[in-house]
Chains A and B, each alone.
Chain A
Amino acid sequence: MKILVCISHVPDTTSKIKFTNNQTEFDSNGITFVINPYDEFGLTRAMKIKESTGATITVVNVGAASTEPTLRKALAIGADEAVRIDADPKDGSTVARLIADYAKEQNFDLIVTGRESIDYNGGIVPGMLATYLDIPFVNACIGFELEGTNAKAVREIDGGKETLEGTLPMLIAGQKGLVEEKELRIPAMRGIMMARKKPLSVIAAGDTRVSTTVVSFELPETKAACTMIDAGNVEQLVELLHTEAKVI
C-alpha cells in the first residue's frame, strides 16, 4: 500500500504574525516554521498504518528549498521518501493541481492531508486535490480505520460526528482525533540520522497559474482597555453586559 501525506510548511503556533512591504507580504523574520499541526496528526495516523500493514509513506510539499527542513522532519518521524514540488505557491488551487499532477502517476491508495493549514486556513487543497484525482474526500477526519482496502472514516459535523464507509483510494483531511496529541512523535536522534539518507527528490512545477491573489494583509485592531470588575461585585458584570454590551 502506498500512502501520500501532504505537508504544509507553516509558522509555529506561537508566532506573532507581522507583514511587510506595505502589508502585502508575510514577514518571516524570526519565525520558526513547522509541519502544519493538522498534517502532523495525519502523518502520525499514516505511521500507525505503516506499522500495521507495511505501507510506504511519501511526503510531499509544494514550496521553495527553504521548506526542506520541514520535509526532513517528516522523514525523521518515519516517512520513507519526500518529494518537493519546486514552486512558491500563492494559491490553494495551484497547490492542489501541482500535487494532483504528481500523484496521478503514482497510484497512491490513501492520501492524507490536514483539514487546513494554520497560516492561510483555506481548507482548499484537500477537496480540490481529491476532485482532480477523482477520489472520495473526507473532510475534518477525526477517526480512520482500515481493513484491507475497506476504510471506516469518522468526520466531524457541526455538533457531532458521522461515520462513513468506503474502499480505497480516498483522501482524508485530518485534525486532532485522528490521533491524540500525546501520540504525536518527536523524532529521535536515530530517526534524524536516518532521515538524512532517505530520498528527497525535487520535481519541477508544471502549471502554476493562480485563480486568486493576495491584495493585502491586515492585523486586527487592538482592543480598548479591559473594564475590570471587582470579584465581590459580580452583579456589575451582568449590568454592563445588559446596558453596555447589550448582549443579555
Chain B
Amino acid sequence: MAVLVYTESWNGSFKKASFEAVSYAAQLANKIGTEAIALTIASSDDAAQLGNYGATKVLNITNESLATFNNQAYANAIVAAAEANGADTIIISNTNNGKAIAPIIAAKRNAGLITNAIELPSSTSPLTVKRKTFSSKAFTNYSSTAAQNVISITPNALGTIENGATAQIESFDYTATSSDNRLSSVSVDRASGKISLTEADFVVSAGRGLKGPENWGMVEELAGLLGAATACSKPVSDIGWRPHSEHVGQTGIAINPELYIAIGISGAIQHLAGVNASKNIVVINTDPEAPFFKAADYGIVGDAFDVVPKLIEALKIHKANN
C-alpha cells in the first residue's frame, strides 16, 4: 500500500529535487490513503527534516558498500526497502542518477514505469499521470495497468509542501552484492559550486550571437549575479565554444527553471523544445523576427554586447536596493 520515495543526496546532503519528490509522495499517499516512507542512502543530512515534506518514516541506509552511487546496488536496495515495507508505488527524481535506477527497479518489480512526470496523478485507480513527451513539444497522459508502479518526477516541475513535522528514522540495511559491483567507479569529476541545470531556478543561456567563446564573460557575470546556471544552444556546443553538458534543447538537457534568459539564440524549434517549460522566458536578440520572441514573456531587440552589460548594471542596482 505505502508509497516509498528515494531521496537522492549529493556529498551527503539532500538534493532540492528530493524534497520535491517527498512532497509528491506524501500528496499521492494522501490520495490513496496510505503513508509516504522516505529512503535515504549514504546521507549525512538530517533525515528527520523529510517529515516536514510529509514523510511519516525515513529508512536510512548507511552500509559502507553503498557509500557512493552505484545504479545496480541502489536500485536493489530500493527494491528491498519497498518489499520490506509493502510499498507498491516508488517515487524517484528524474535526475541523472534517478534515470539510471528507475528502469532497473521497474524491471525487477515488473512495475509500470512513468518517467518525466510533471503533475500528481489525476487518478489513482488506474494510476494516471501526465508526463512530458516529444521533448517538451507535448504532454501525454499515461495510465498504468500494473499492480506495482514507479514514477520519476521532473525536477523543478512541482514545488514542495511543508508542514513543520519531523519524521521518525529507522535504519535499513542492504549490502551490495558482487553482481551489483560489476561496474566500479574510477573517478567523479564535478565542479564544486556548479549549479545543476535540471535543478536550477535561473538559467542564463547564450548562442552564436555571442560571436565567440571569449565573449562568455558577461554571460557568466550575469549568471553569477542571479545565482543562475549557464547554458548554451546546440550550435555553440557543436563548435566547441561551450561543453556539451551546457547544451539545452531537444537533444540536450530539458530544463524548466523559474527564469530562462536567452542571449543571441534565435529559437529554433529544437531549442524551444528543451526550454519552453521555463516559467518566465527573456529573449535578447538583434533580429526582431527571431522566432524565439513568439515563445518569450519578455523581449529586447538589441545587441547582446550593448544590452547584457546594461542588464548587469541594472541588476546590481536592484540588488543593492532590495
Interface-located stretch among A53-61, A67-75, A198-206, A231-239:
A231-239
What residue in chain B is nearest A176 (Cβ atoms)?
B244
A156 at the interface (CB under 8 A from B): yes
**When the two chains form the complex, which single residue of A14, A155, A248 contacts B100, counting CB atoms closer than 8 Å?**
A155
**B115 close to A124 (CB less than 8 A):** yes
Find chain A residues with CB under 8 A from B190 CB: 157, 159-161
A180 to B237, CA, bound (A): 10
Known: A37-B251, A164-B185, A217-B140. A139 touches B112 (CB 8 A): no
Q: Name the segment of A44-52, A81-89, A104-112, A218-226 touching the other chain.
A: A218-226
B260-299, CB under 8 A of A: which get 1 and which 0?
0000000001100100110110110000000001111111
Asked whether B301 lies within 8 Å of A214 as measured between CB atoms, the reply is no
Nearest chain A CB to B108's CB is how many angstroms away?
6
A222 to chain B, nearest CB (A): 9
B230-257, CB under 8 A of A: which get 1 and which 0?
0000000110000011010011101000
Task: Given A93-B113, A216-B140, decide whether A118 and B250 contact each other with a Cβ distance below 8 A.
Answer: yes
| Distance of A210 Cα from B142 Cα, bound (Å) | 12
- Pick the residue among A137, A157, A228, A238 that contacts B104 (CB under 8 A): A137
- Could you tell me the distance in whole angstroms from the C-beta of A11 to the nearest C-beta in chain B? 8
B244 to chain A: which residues have CB within 8 Å? 142, 176-177
- Within 8 Å of chain B (Cβ to Cβ): is A191? no
**Residues from chain A with Cβ under 8 Å of B15 in the complex:** 158
Closest-by-CB residue of A relative to B310 is: A234
Q: A165–B96 contact, CB under 8 A? A: no
User: In the complex, what residues of A have CB within 8 A of residue B145's CB?
Assistant: 210-213
Which chain B residue has the least Cβ–Cβ distance from A92? B113
Q: Whose C-beta in chain A lies nearest to the C-beta of B240?
A: A180
* Interchain CB contact under 8 A, A241 and B280: yes
Question: Are B138 and A14 neighbours in the complex by a CB distance under 8 Å?
Answer: no
A231 contact set on B, CB distance < 8 A: 300-303, 306-307
Classify chain A's interface size: 35 or more
Question: Across the interface, do B297 and A245 meet the contact criterion of CB distance under 8 Å?
Answer: yes
- Is A136 a contact partner of B269 (Cβ separation < 8 A)? no
Which of the candidate stretches B31-39, B161-169, B192-200, B207-215 sits at the interface with the other chain? B192-200
A123 and B99 in contact, given A165-B186, A215-B142, A226-B297 (Cβ under 8 angstroms): yes
Whether the pair B113, A13 counts as a contact (CB closer than 8 A) is: no
- Determine if A140 and B96 form an interchain contact, defined as CB atoms under 8 angstroms apart: yes
- Nearest 7 Cβ contacts at the A-B interface: A127-B103, A160-B190, A231-B302, A131-B107, A139-B100, A158-B196, A211-B112
- Apart from the given pairs A118-B135, A226-B298, A235-B314, 18 other A-B contacts in the complex at a CB distance below 8 Å: A96-B103, A119-B133, A119-B134, A119-B135, A122-B116, A127-B100, A127-B102, A131-B103, A132-B107, A152-B186, A161-B189, A211-B111, A213-B143, A215-B141, A219-B137, A223-B297, A234-B310, A248-B318
CB-defined A-B contacts under 8 Å, sample of 21: A17-B134, A121-B134, A124-B115, A128-B104, A137-B103, A138-B183, A159-B190, A162-B187, A163-B188, A165-B184, A211-B113, A212-B113, A213-B142, A214-B141, A217-B138, A220-B276, A227-B297, A231-B300, A237-B282, A242-B318, A245-B280
